[in-house]
Amino acid sequence: MSRNPDSGLQRLILDTARKLLFTEGYARLSMRKIAQRIGYSATSIYLHYGNKDELVHALIDEGVDLLHEELCAAYDGSQEPIEQLSEMFLAYINFGLTRPEYYEIMYVLHPEYMTRYPAEKYRKARRNLEMIASAISSGVKSGQFETHDPMLCANLAWTQLHGVVTLLNSERVDKRIPSETLIAASGSHIIRSLLKNQTQVEV
């Protein structure tokens, strides 16, 4: 039940869980499989993680940090709000598409199935939205963007990005629409809606 990933075995469990999550997907991730793969009995895992959800929460933590890092890199890559935003949008979608397993446990799985992901950690995930809102704010200050509620706009952007990621990952988007087209369009679409004048944005 100790939450720091020391003790050797804890690390091993987490690493194996992550590997299994990636190769087999969440649906086929089981305590027994993890245990078997590291040569321990299934119940040993319960000495380090109270239950499966706690283990998955640890994986979510990893994913949250990873996404945050990549968004930060995108944000820090420029001073220009528009560039910052479009880079962050691309980073977000890229994360979702290249790490669908992380994305699934972070943003798709019904919380009802899972014991609640601790509220304090949700705050950590919220940093990302605040970063988007901050870029929007500076765009408003510099006079490029219309003055709207930045946090509402950030959430609007997020829902758009989330929709793109999940519908692409679940292969529900008509294949006649290339994903690159949809991704580019969604990014420029969000930014265009923020702009003051009718300037077209290429992404």
Partner DNA sequence: CTATTAACTTAACAGTGTTAACCCCTTCGG
Partner DNA sequence: CCGAAGGGGTTAACACTGTTAAGTTAATAG
How big is the chain, counted in residues? 203
Question: Using the rule CB under 7 A, is 33 a contact of DNA?
Answer: yes
The entry of a copy of itself, DNA, none that residue 9 binds, CB within 5 to 8 Å by partner kind: DNA
Query: Which H/E stretch holds residue 165?
Result: helix 150-169
Cβ partners under 8 Å of residue 195, min gap 6: 144, 145, 146, 201
195 - beta bridge partners?
A: 145
Answer with the entry of a copy of itself, DNA, none that 191 interacts with (C-beta below 5 to 8 A by kind): none
Binding of DNA at residue 109 (CB under 7 A)? no
Q: Does 23 bind DNA (CB under 7 A)?
A: no
d(CA 129, CA 68): 10
Three-state SS at 99: coil
Supply the minimum distance, in Å, between the C-beta of residue 118 and a copy of itself. 14
Among residues 23, 43, 159, 170, the one that binds DNA under rule CB under 7 A: 43
Cβ 40 vs Cβ 86: under 8 Å: no
Q: Are the C-beta atoms of residues 61 and 121 closer than 8 Å to each other? A: yes
CB closer to a copy of itself, 73 vs 177: 177
What single letter denotes the amino acid at residue 20?
A: L
Per the DSSP assignment, residues forming a β-bridge with 145 are 195
Residues in touch with a copy of itself (CB under 8 A):
25, 27, 104, 107-113, 126, 129, 151-152, 155-156, 158-164, 166-167, 170-174, 176-177, 181-182, 185-186, 189, 192-193, 197-198
Task: Please choose, out of 37-45, 119-127, 147-155, 185-193, the segment that lies near DNA by the rule CB under 7 A.
Answer: 37-45
Q: Which of 168, 189, 195 is nearest to 89 (CA)?
A: 189
56 binds, among DNA, a copy of itself, none (CB under 5 to 8 A by kind): none
Which residues bind to DNA, rule: CB under 7 A? 7, 9, 29-33, 35, 39-44, 46-47, 50-53
